[in-house]
Chains A and B, each alone.
Chain A
């Protein structure tokens, strides 16, 4: 999935549980949450990448639904819950508690995952977003994420 996004030069930041796992969280997640840059050209590249991944809309208890999309329609929805041939993918332009791509990019962490360069939302931003989302699963993740943030801060600014 990340390789396909890279192939199509999609500009995005990974947030949520997957980004947290990449930074040390032990909590499992089976989807990837991304925040794309809202630039129209980027949204068009994202639409092409989604077609290459055969993305469909996923919903509880029903078969995934094929859907038509382009740069404009993708930017219209608050969140897209999709399933692709590479796994589940959630796309949101403005995750809870954040101002979206530009806001997250400031503190994003650049890593390479299986040879693919990827930008991850910082742990602090993941905590901010989960605090704002406030769902049970977000609340459950917060203690360990907060602890990871405080360890990061201690390692950056040792006494």
Chain B
């Protein structure tokens, strides 16, 4: 699904029709349509090739798995709906307080750089 979305996005950015991309890729317009709609799942190599034909390259990188959101979600799942909404409201109020405090703070003095 993600591969198809990427190809559609790249094709649109390149202002190509499905037919034009199909010609470049030596395939059919319906094959591109199926791929973009998620009805077929392209391999990573196919996605890379189609993106290249649209003038883009695919950059993939590994990042450590971040489970901090799900840890918070687990805590919220132990609460009832009203408590979850109340927590969100408290979070928003705190964020608003912080924003106000930051706006009200006098401009900080420039820190001197320590000599090397």
Residues of A within 8 A of B (CB): 18, 21-30, 111-114, 131, 134, 143-144, 147-148
Known A-B contacts A21-B88, A134-B5; the reply to A26 vs B69 at CB < 8 A is yes
Known A-B contacts A112-B81, A114-B82, A134-B5; the reply to A29 vs B73 at CB < 8 A is no
Give chain A residues whose Cβ lies under 8 Å from the Cβ of B31. Answer: none
Give chain A residues whose Cβ lies under 8 Å from the Cβ of B55. Answer: none
Contact in complex: A147, B70 (CB < 8 Å): yes
Interface string of B59-101 (1 = CB under 8 A from A): 0000000100110110111000110110010011001000000
Task: Tell me the smallest distance from the CB of B19 to a CB of chain A, in Å.
Answer: 24
The residue that A29 contacts in the complex, of B1, B5, B88, with Cβ under 8 A, is B88
Task: Tell me the smallest distance from the CB of B82 to a CB of chain A, in Å.
Answer: 6
Contact in complex: B82, A26 (CB < 8 Å): no
Interface string of B4-32 (1 = CB under 8 A from A): 01000000000000000000000000000
Of all chain B residues, which has the CB nearest A2?
B85
Known A-B contacts A111-B81, A114-B82; the reply to A26 vs B76 at CB < 8 A is yes
Contact in complex: A22, B84 (CB < 8 Å): yes
